[in-house]
Structure 1
Amino acid sequence: MSSTFIPPKSDANWQQLASTAVQKEDTSNWLGELVQETLALTRRLFIQLQRRPSTLIAGIIQPVMWLILFGALFQNAPKGMFGDSTNYGQFLSAGVIVFTAFGGALNAGLPVMFDREFGFLNRLLVAPLASRFSIVLASTIFIVSQSLLQAAVIVAAAAFLGAGLPNLAGLGAIALIILLLALGVTAVSLGLAFALPGHIELIAVIFVTQLPLLFASTALAPLSFMPKWLQIVATINPLSYAIEPIRYLYLHNSWNLGNVVMQAPWGAVTFGGAILMLVGFSFVAVLSIQPLLRRTLA
């Protein structure tokens, strides 16, 4: 009778299998710890906001006042002066939504900067964290969530003031646009928080940046009102690529990615093209701060 001989598995194979299993377990544990750390740090930021909600309240009251005051200021403007808008409040709503999200995201670096100055960041850096990038992820989640909440309140206020309300798909598109813009601006702000020496310098950058970017965009006036040089600047400004698609949603019930939302000096910008510009802006912003974060959080 013949029998088949099965050679025993070598110790090397068993060691390789055991090593693979350990690596998978380590990866699973690392991801779980990263999520836990990020959620804990995010919860800390929300607790701070709950204890001192003045920033959130001011970030909602100010844009609502803009809607009321600017809408009343230009309520007697001739029809057609601001494109297809039935009133200036409808035209202004998109700009207020975007600028509020932009302003909140630009302040994203302040909590990190204060943690640096008060020594809490140093405690985190010496703590046994799975990844120090959880500090950045927590700040990003907090700011993006706050921006979406503020945008929702402003959309509701604009609807109450007569600007109308986009359909459900349009509201989803607004959320996506705000998410992309807030992600890119938050990355820039966090990079500044790690690069600048103190909060005075960061606040100075915020003050110097906010209003020029507002006026050098289509938030308050269409491109046709601007001189040629300002039109070029406005079409470079990422805010314009967030404002115009949202404005189109307010003015049109039906839309698609091929609809033209802005006539730039160099050509027509479609809805999809504006979204791609925001994706590119966010990608470049996140990518550009990676070397700085690696040096700081190493």
Structure 2
Amino acid sequence: MNTTVTTQKSDINWQPETSQRIPINDNPGLGEFIQETFALTKRLFIQLQRRPSTLIAGIIQPLMWLILFGALFQNAPQGFFGEGLDYANFLGAGIIVFTAFAGALNAGLPVMFDREFGFLNRLLVAPLASRFSIVVASAIYIIALSFIQTIVIIGASAFLGAGLPNLVGLSAIALIIFLLVLGVTALSLGLAFALPGHIELIAVIFVMTLPLLFASTALAPLSFMPGWLQIVASLNPLTYAIEPIRYLYLYSDWSLASVVMETPWVSVTFGGAILILLGFAALVFVAISPLLRRRFA
């Protein structure tokens, strides 16, 4: 008995239909990067919404500084802080800058906790368009919080009699705070990836905060300091954020060529202070880029 097996040619040459394959984007573009950054930023704001104590404390503390320090030195001689300026008005610029600085210095803590709880590892193995969206999302989150705190402090200072700069002056304050927060946030994120745990990061934050505050012009003018401290304060990026903002409160006819401070070696203009802050932020980004590339690899 002969059995004939008939095999159709189409069965032998069968291939899966390419139209059913899922397309894979090997070169993700700007749209994917923006989408990832938005999602990661939204996650941080959801955490803030669930635990708003960080923002509340970040607003109450500088208000207490502004009120208590202003009251402490209210009987200081007129002109002691320059041109009839009382201490409450003098302190406003320092509180604005220091609050933004302190918040930016804590920017690495959420990333460090994500490292310790394993969430960061999940992000690093996920098919992200760019792992730098993790860093950008953290920066956007901290900058937004800093602007909220700055608005509250400016409003409180105006209520206490410090006055209010015009719209151009407020825009200049926003630019100065943005540049300072950008650089300090990058520094904090670099520390979050470099240090072994959150205990070490918190220790570094505690060690840096008060020395940078007292070695700046936030609490006292440069001329009031001894010579060695004047040199240290002139190297402190906080000073180059404080003095332009203070100048905005004193003079309504300011310009980029206005001299805002006299360091031991050179006079610094308004535009020069902004360039120094820009250079500081760029220097920090250049310094942490190799570290981030190694961690993200």
Say yes or no: TM over 0.5.
yes
Q: CA deviation at 1:254?
A: 1.1
3-state DSSP class of the match of 2:29?
Answer: helix
Q: CA deviation at 1:84?
A: 2.3
Q: CA deviation at 1:39?
A: 0.2
Distance 2:240 2:176 in 1: 9
Match of 2:69 in 1: 70
3-state DSSP class of the match of 1:113?
Answer: helix
Match of 1:217 in 2: 216
The amino acid across from 2:85 in the alignment is T
Post-superposition Cα deviations, 1:139-180, rounded to whole Å, max 9, x if no partner, equal: 011011111111111000111111111111100000000000
For structure 2, list consecutive stretches of 5 or more residues without a partner in the other structure.
Answer: 1-24
Q: CA deviation at 1:60?
A: 0.6
The answer on whether the counterparts of 1:85 and 1:251 sit within 8 Å (CA) in structure 2 is no
3-state DSSP class of the match of 1:32?
Answer: helix
Match of 2:207 in 1: 208
Higher share in helix? 1
The answer on whether the counterparts of 1:71 and 1:92 sit within 8 Å (CA) in structure 2 is yes
1:50 aligns with 2:49: yes
The amino acid across from 2:246 in the alignment is R
1:250 aligns with 2:249: yes
3-state DSSP class of the match of 1:289?
Answer: helix
Runs of 4+ in 1 over 6 A off after TM superposition: none
Distance 2:52 2:234 in 1: 35
Q: Map 1:245-284 to 2 at 5 A.
A: 245-284=244-283
Larger of the two Rg values belongs to structure:
2
Q: CA deviation at 1:30?
A: 1.7
Distance 2:32 2:223 in 1: 53
The answer on whether the counterparts of 1:85 and 1:91 sit within 8 Å (CA) in structure 2 is no
Match of 1:34 in 2: 33
Q: CA deviation at 1:85?
A: 4.8
Q: Map 1:1-298 to 2 at 5 A.
A: 29-298=28-297
Distance 1:166 1:84 in 2: 18
Distance 1:86 1:94 in 2: 12
3-state DSSP class of the match of 2:256?
Answer: coil
The amino acid across from 1:91 in the alignment is F
For structure 1, list consecutive stretches of 5 or more residues without a partner in the other structure.
Answer: 1-24
Post-superposition Cα deviations, 1:219-265, rounded to whole Å, max 9, x if no partner, equal: 00001110000000000000000000000001111100011100100
The amino acid across from 1:113 in the alignment is M
Q: What is the number of equivalent residue pairs in this alignment? A: 273
Change (3 A) 1:273 1:85: farther
Q: CA deviation at 1:26?
A: 7.0
The amino acid across from 2:237 in the alignment is P
Distance 1:267 1:127 in 2: 50
Q: What TM-score comes out, normalization by structure 1 length?
A: 0.90
The answer on whether the counterparts of 1:63 and 1:100 sit within 8 Å (CA) in structure 2 is yes
Distance 1:200 1:232 in 2: 32
The amino acid across from 1:98 in the alignment is V
Distance 2:75 2:187 in 1: 39
Distance 1:100 1:58 in 2: 11
The amino acid across from 2:50 in the alignment is R
Post-superposition Cα deviations, 1:200-230, rounded to whole Å, max 9, x if no partner, equal: 0000000000000000000000011100000
The amino acid across from 1:63 in the alignment is P
CA-atom RMSD in angstroms: 1.0
Match of 2:3 in 1: none
The amino acid across from 2:96 in the alignment is I
Post-superposition Cα deviations, 1:49-100, rounded to whole Å, max 9, x if no partner, equal: 1110111110110000011001111111111100125311110000000000
